[in-house]
Chain A
């Protein structure tokens, strides 16, 4: 088994193949843009593209974290519920502090979000590593826990953000700097930091080593527990950053916030070229993957020839085709 999984990963380390895996998602993205333009020229309008890429920011930011987890050989199904939970706690904290601190409640709430996300990630990490529970089962458990907690906190309804904070916080989702929406800038920054960590720092190499072959990594003196736990913490912090961008959009947390995000996140990572079984992570590919997913959904609405009943089927087909394009270019 180890031999079989080991040989393609050494094969992938060859120069040419790496370039193809890196380029694949961007080829798919370009193909989609051209197809979209042919179907409806409005697709490439600046407003539409800005809207769609901004919308993909949450999934992109969370998926960057998931790239760490999946690269290290783990999996995290709890991210959607965790995003909802962090959103809920953040809004409750901001509302509680607002009467005393005024607008300072917003940055303070952001710090709380990061802290809560970090702790949630740490919990996931410890259950998986120290508890030695399969990541799928462990995070399926915490997924249920986070979802139940947000439902409990909201009484099944909504937690809206305080009116006095709403307008001041709005620009974090709706504002622009130099014409570029802020969530896009934040996701680019997150991806840039992540790719630095993953490709230029020692931790990145450890991450890929643990994911590619646990035994070899252990013999090379890498702490598997430490490496994986850190990956889950990074995931938690990314979820928190996404939550910070999410709160100002609708200004509320509900029990349905972040539902099924985990599947979109995993799909984005895989479209981006990171293997689900672990190994080298592709941060920028992941970001492209998240944008591709959102573009497909957008294209479904902008085109007229898909019945509303069949939208999900067509989305599935396009995702599979995108993967096939990649696989095809990989094997060359």
Chain B
């Protein structure tokens, strides 16, 4: 009885020792992201896992661990557990919510961990060592600029917006600021909750309400799918442009294929998590300083550069 316990303890001890030794050798990058619950977060999970696979294979001295969490509270537990069980050299985090995650991330920073924040900022920006995000205002602005250009400076536009959040507000603001003073007129703007079914219904209603529409802007690609289906059903030919945003693979494919109604796309790419992981690794492995805030632009995706943003294996 006693000897068996003793053996178990010895085995456990040696296991811990080797585990410790391995952790000494490798630099650990923990990645904490929301679980996939819709298209965009599914893309984030895909790109984080791809980055982890690529880096773990290419750099034997680095270990990337990806943890997904279905809520803010569980994300807090996840990063606390990660940092309690081993030393983390860097944490790349896409926070569920700014308020709830700020303090827990700060606690991890105090242990000497390099902190990379992605997409949604923390309430205290001094916590982050590196900040990587897209540009929601540019998503709206660049779409608007293209429409103005393509429609010759005037036309009737209907807009579908998402869920009342900062992201949605910024996109709409970018769009409205860009069309101010031009002949482009927004006939209507309503929420469709970034949901393709709701967008389908809303577009049917827009089509019933307005006998003439020049262009549609859905500020997310999930909604654009519903819009296109409603336009197709109506058989209407007055709609010259139907644009989306985010960089969903189905829509990027349309751009590649030279679709006439959806000839361009504006990215708010989930691959930004991958950009952030690689930059963090550069700091850790290559001693390439990366501290600062990086705003990824939302350049128009056209037929020429679409390949750069096309990920056929991603779920999004």
List residues of A whose CB falls within 8 A of some B CB: 40, 42, 45, 47-48, 51, 55, 151, 154-158, 160, 174, 249-250, 252, 254-257, 259, 297-298, 301-302, 308-309, 311
Contact = CB atoms under 8 A, between A and B. Distances in A.
Chain B interface size range? 35 or more
Residue picked from A42, A174, A301, A309, most chain B C-beta under 10 Å: A301
Contact of B37 (A42, A255, A298): A255
Interface stretch (B102-110, B114-122, B173-181, B222-230): B222-230
B229 to A, nearest CB: 6
A158 B229 CA distance: 16
14 contacts: A45-B208, A47-B234, A155-B36, A155-B315, A156-B38, A156-B39, A157-B36, A249-B197, A257-B197, A298-B205, A301-B188, A301-B205, A308-B161, A309-B164
For the complex of A and B, the 5 pairs showing the least CB-CB separation, nearest first, are A156-B36, A157-B315, A156-B42, A301-B205, A157-B42
Contacts of B229: 249-250
A308 B209 contact: no
B201 A156 contact: no
B190 interface: yes
B191 interface: yes
Given A45-B208, A250-B225, A308-B189, A158 B315 contact: yes
A215 B204 CA distance: 49
B201 A48 contact: no
A156 B204 contact: no
B41 interface: yes
Contacts of B188: 301
A154 B46 CA distance: 12
Contacts, number: 88
Nearest to A55: B201
Contact of A301 (B38, B195, B206, B314): B206
Given A47-B208, A250-B200, A157 B39 contact: yes
Given A51-B205, A157-B316, 20 more contacts: A45-B208, A151-B36, A151-B37, A156-B39, A156-B316, A157-B42, A157-B43, A157-B315, A158-B315, A249-B197, A254-B38, A254-B196, A256-B195, A259-B195, A301-B205, A302-B208, A302-B209, A308-B190, A308-B191, A311-B191
A311 B299 CA distance: 34
B315 A156 contact: yes
B88 interface: no
Contacts of B36: 151, 155-157, 255
A155 B314 CA distance: 9
B214 to A, nearest CB: 19
Given A48-B208, A155-B36, A308-B191, A250 B226 contact: yes
Contacts of B233: 174
B202 interface: yes
Contacts of B314: 157
A128 B257 CA distance: 52
Nearest to B188: A301
B45 interface: yes
Contacts of A40: 209
A55 B161 CA distance: 21
Contacts of A250: 196-197, 200, 225-226, 229
A160 B312 CA distance: 13
Contacts of B43: 157
A155 B44 CA distance: 11
Contacts of A47: 208, 234
Given A255-B37, A302-B205, A308-B190, A154 B315 contact: yes
A154 B42 contact: yes
B75 to A, nearest CB: 16
Contacts of B205: 48, 51, 298, 301-302
Contacts of A154: 42, 315
B35 interface: yes
A259 B225 CA distance: 17
Given A249-B200, A308-B190, A155 B42 contact: yes
A154 to B, nearest CB: 7
Interface string B11-39: 00000000000000000000000011111
A302 B205 CA distance: 7
Nearest to B43: A157
B315 A301 contact: no
Contacts of B45: 155-156
A302 B206 CA distance: 8
A41 B288 CA distance: 66
Contacts of B164: 309
Nearest to A298: B205
A51 B206 CA distance: 12
B190 A254 contact: no
Interface in B146-166: 161, 164
A174 B190 CA distance: 24
A311 B316 contact: no
Contacts of B316: 156-157
